[in-house]
Amino acid sequence: MSCLFGYCGLPAPGLLTKMANLLSHRCNLGWEQVNGKLREEYVIEIGHGIAPWCQNSQVMQHNQCFLGYAGTIFNAPFTLPFDTPDDISISHQMEQWLNDLTYAPNTRLEQLEGAFVMALALGENFYLLRDHAGVKVIYWTVHQGRLLFASEIKALFADSSVPRRMRSGALLEYLSFSFVPGKRTMFEGIEELQPGSILTFSQGQVKIRRHFEFEKQENFLQKPNARQYHTEAVRTALETSVQECCQVSTHKPPGVFLSGGIDSSAVLAMTCKTLPDVRIPTFSVNFGAEYPNENEFISLMQKRYRTNHHELEIRPADFMTQLREIVWHLDDPIGDPVTVPNYLMAKAAAKVTNVVLNGEGGDPCFGGPKNIPMLLTRLYGPMPGEPSQSWLARNYLHSFQRCYQDLTSLVDPAVFKEAGGEEALFAILEPFFNTASPQAFLNKLMSLNIRSKGANLILVKVEKMSSANGLLALPPLFSRRIIETSMACPPQLKLEGTIEKAILKQAVMDMIPEPIIARPKSGMMVPVQFWFQGEMRRYAKKLLSKKHLKRIGLLNPDYVKRLLNYEIEGVPGLRHGLKLWMLITFLLWYEQMVESFD
């Protein structure tokens, strides 16, 4: 729900409706539009799928200003939502804002905070924005002088002349990271606007400026009582972020996705503090009694805060028939089995509420489980014969533990070569390691995790899975405020010895039971390796059959067979289950998004 789509440029009658049709799953409550002529043979059309959490208009037109947004803006300097899109008697505040916008568009737009994407035509200039962290997503392409934009890639193909070609480097990137990092997507010519960026389209030219440079918040000045200072800063930032999120849902109380970890527990604790008289609905998953779960920790929070808890048991039989649809909703493939619990939890939560808060952001902003391995890598330095330029990137990919080590065996050699090989992958990561700012290595890792894994994997996955079910998912731990606060925090307060997210734990220590504070990072333990040796084996074998793989011609069927058979020899590592999941996701994506249109 609440999607944004449209175009700017030569008139294309019926295009907006076609885009809306392709996004019909996000326009269940209908959609609204605003359009107008900017100059001769130059129009703007903006569509917005109406959201259940905000059933008023999110598009408007005033004079030569056309605006539409999806999501929610926390600090809009005007009254939102608008009463109707045709309301020409806009508020004084809005008029003032629009005037300011005319003189200093970038400054005004940069100040907007929330979980949103926005399209704005002002005079002959067109702007596209994405919020600071990237909670909401927007894609764009320029084709035949026209800029098209949409919350999902599939809507861009409403213009049937837009080429639908898989980018040559995309498969390698996907297999190495399990998502496509950066501004590029799986498709040639289609880009994802990066968080904290403003795209300007003028005179047929695109310029993109990243205005959110949180790396500059890095601060090495020793404050007196640094620990106390930063603990309070984190606490305040989290409180404010949660308050902002809670204000979005006016009709129903927001829900909280609870995993049993420190991040979601901190969010729940703050939510209950913000809404003390409300029984907050919480949601968690498990995969059956025979598999490890975090119920013990979830129960601690649920009992302490007396939430209205909903537990969901997920088994392959529950989702295998929906897997194709789930991948279709993802748009660009994301090879993360957590997408399924995300989707099913959102589906369950949508019956109870319109807005949920989650704990996403805790790891990228305060130090995740990959930091110590990379710090140890740096301790030993490059191996003999290892080029000094790319050794950190190589080790980062290795520690990511996806299919990087399998590439030469898994991918067709011609595809591997055309994609640029390993060097193309290193080139994505090296800027993060080579940048002058931030200086501290831990902060470099943070920046990489926020801008890459956070922006292009975590937030995108959550956004797609929640929007598919009419839910708005908000991550208080991924707000602009939190990102800047954490960057300003000295590395030694974020990672203290082996204690990750130390400062966050300190900030919420009084609100979270001690076993949750003390437990090491776990992550959602999706038992894919057991599924693929059990209930999903036949499904996987059918989908990853030699016949299918040869038809696609990108992957080595013999190597895939070794993964299916869980062979150890010749297969690096033991993460066969995850690799199979990534391959299945890719196949389902390819069939629906590429092959069916060839």
Going by C-alpha positions, the residue among 357, 425, 454 that lies closest to residue 72 is 357
For residues 162 and 512, which CB has a smaller minimum distance to another protein in the complex?
512
# of chain residues touching another protein (CB under 8 A): 56
Only one of the segments 95-103, 332-340, 411-419, 507-515 lies at the binding site for another protein (rule: CB under 8 A); that segment is 332-340
Assess 288 for contact with another protein (CB under 8 A): no
Q: What's the closest the beta carbon of residue 131 comes to another protein, in angstroms?
A: 23
Q: Is 372 in the site for another protein (CB under 8 A)?
A: yes
Identify residues 529-548 at the interface with another protein (CB under 8 A): 529-530
- Decide whether 413 or 497 has the Cβ nearer to another protein: 497
The only residue of 265, 508, 527, 585 in contact with another protein, by rule CB under 8 A: 527
Per CB under 8 A, contacts with another protein among 472-491 are 491
- Greatest Cα pair distance, the chain, in angstroms, is 72
Least distance from another protein to the Cβ atom of residue 426, Å? 16
Q: 52 vs 577, which CB is nearer to another protein?
A: 577
* Of 22, 34, 285, nearest in space to 158 by CA: 22
Asked if 572 interacts with another protein (CB under 8 A), we say yes
Q: Strand 355-357 relative to strand 255-257: parallel, antiparallel, unpaired? A: parallel
Question: Contacting another protein (CB under 8 A), which of 384, 553, 596, 597?
Answer: 384
Q: How far is the CB of 366 from another protein (least distance, A)?
A: 13
For position 399 contacting another protein by CB under 8 A, the verdict is: yes
* Residue 577 binds another protein, judged by CB under 8 A: yes
Q: Report phi then psi at 398, rounded to 5.
A: -65, -45
Give the amino acid at 575: R
Q: How many residues does the chain have?
A: 598
Neighbours of 38 (CB within 10 A): 18
| H helix intervals, 23-152 | 92-103, 105-110
Which member of 495, 507, 540, 560 binds another protein (CB under 8 A)? 495
Question: Is omega for the bond preceding 438 within 30 degrees of 0, making it cis?
Answer: yes
b vs e for 300-319, b when ≥16 Cβ sit within 10 Å of the residue's Cβ?
A: bbbebbebebbbbebebeeb
Q: What residues numbered 238-277 form the site for another protein, per CB under 8 A?
A: 261
Contact (Cβ atoms closer than 8 angstroms) between residue 191 and residue 139: yes
Q: Does 421 bind another protein (CB under 8 A)?
A: no
Q: Which is nearer to another protein, 164 or 521 (CB)?
A: 521
Please name which of 261, 250, 31 lies closest in space to residue 150, comparing C-alpha atoms. Answer: 31
The CB-of-261 to another protein minimum distance in angstroms stands at 7
- Cβ(182)–Cβ(428) below 8 Å: yes
Residues 6+ apart with CB under 8 A from 191: 139, 140, 141, 183, 184, 185
Q: How far is the CB of 497 from another protein (least distance, A)?
A: 4
Concatenate the DSSP letters of all residues of 436-463 into one string.
Answer: SSS-SHHHHHHHHIIIIIIIIIIHHHHH
Q: Contacts with another protein in 8-67 (CB under 8 A)?
A: none
**Which is nearest to 359 in space by CA: 253, 478, 445?**
478
The helix (run of H) or strand (run of E) holding residue 35 is strand 31-39
Of 165, 306, 574, 595, the one binding another protein (CB under 8 A) is 574
Binding track, positions 348-367, relative to another protein; x by CB under 8 A: ---------------x----
Q: Does 325 bind another protein (CB under 8 A)?
A: no
* Residues near 133 by beta carbon (within 8 Å), at least 6 away in sequence: 115, 195, 196, 361, 450, 454, 455, 459, 475, 478, 479, 480, 483
Candidates 411, 526, 549, 583; binder of another protein (CB under 8 A) is 526
- Cβ at position 354, least distance to another protein in Å: 26
Binders of another protein among 290-319, rule CB under 8 A? 291-292
Q: Which is nearer to another protein, 259 or 271 (CB)?
A: 259
Among 103, 220, 380, 597, binds another protein (CB under 8 A): 380
Mutual angle of helices 441-448 and 480-488, in 10-degree steps: 160
SS3 of 4, please? strand
Exactly one of 78, 229, 319, 566 binds another protein (CB under 8 A); that residue is 566
- Residue 396 C-beta: closest distance to another protein, Å: 10
Residues 168, 549: Cα–Cα separation, whole Å: 18
Q: Which of 84, 96, 236, 522 binds another protein (CB under 8 A)?
A: 522
Q: E strand or H helix at 409, and its extent?
A: helix 407-410
Part of the chain binding another protein (CB under 8 A), chosen from 63-71, 196-204, 223-231, 493-501? 493-501
Which among 144-152, 227-235, 377-385, 544-552 is the span making contact with another protein, rule CB under 8 A?
377-385
Q: Considering only residues 383, 427, 509, 518, which one is a binding residue for another protein as defined by CB under 8 A?
A: 383
Please say which residue, 380 or 597, places its beta carbon nearer to another protein: 380
Q: Which CB, 77 or 373, lies closer to another protein?
A: 373
Of the candidates 47, 69, 182, which has an alpha carbon nearest to the alpha carbon of residue 120? Answer: 69
Sheet arrangement for strand 139-143: 31-39, 42-49, 4-9, 146-150, 139-143, 191-192
Cβ neighbours for 299, distance < 8 A, ≥ 6 positions apart: none
Shortest Cβ 593–another protein spacing (Å): 23
Q: Does 521 bind another protein (CB under 8 A)?
A: yes
Element holding 148 (H helix, E strand): strand 146-150
Q: Which of 415, 441, 539, 594 is the binder for another protein (CB under 8 A)?
A: 441
How many whole angstroms separate alpha carbon 590 and alpha carbon 593?
A: 5
Q: Please identify which residue in 13, 224, 276, 497 interacts with another protein, judged by CB under 8 A.
A: 497
Check binding of 333 to another protein (CB under 8 A).
Answer: no
Closer residue to another protein (CB): 148 or 578: 578
Residue choice 231, 377, 452, 486 for contact with another protein (CB under 8 A): 377
Residues at the site binding another protein, with contacts judged by CB under 8 A? 261, 291-292, 336-338, 363, 368-369, 371-384, 388, 395, 398-399, 405, 440-442, 491-492, 495-498, 521-530, 566, 568-570, 572, 574-575, 577-578
